[in-house]
Amino acid sequence: MRQFWENLRHRTWFKILSNRFVLSLIVFGVWMSFLDVNSWLIHRELNQEIDDLQTSIRYYEEEIKKDEAQLEQLNSGPENLEKFAREQYYLSAPGEEIYLIEIPKKED
């Protein structure tokens, strides 16, 4: 056993790793990567959440553009507004009756 430790002590990599500054650096690296409040793992999760939120922002910006285009179309004339109200909210003119016909969907 003593021979093993003697051989180990004379190896270059063991001398480097047994240096107290290198050991301190390794402990610090492990601490900052995994154990600290601001660890690399937490930053990775936060970056993933940021990516998800940016995707959500892009989606809602596209929806806003669609809504603005639809609003502009509705403000272009009373005919378009009336058509939208009839199609989306089933509104009718006085004395008019509306019949809803639902066509069953075919299941494949």
Mean pLDDT of 44-65: 97
Mention every residue, 6+ apart, whose C-beta is less than 8 A from residue 80: 73, 74
Q: What percent of the chain has pLDDT over 70?
A: 99
pLDDT digits (tens, 9 = 90+) for 38-54: 778 888 999 999 999 99
Per DSSP, the residues of 17-63 read: HTSHHHHHHHHHHHIIIIISTT-HHHHHHHHHHHHHHHHHHHHHHHH
6 has a pLDDT exceeding 80: no
Longest dimension (CA), the chain: 107
Mean pLDDT of 57-64: 98
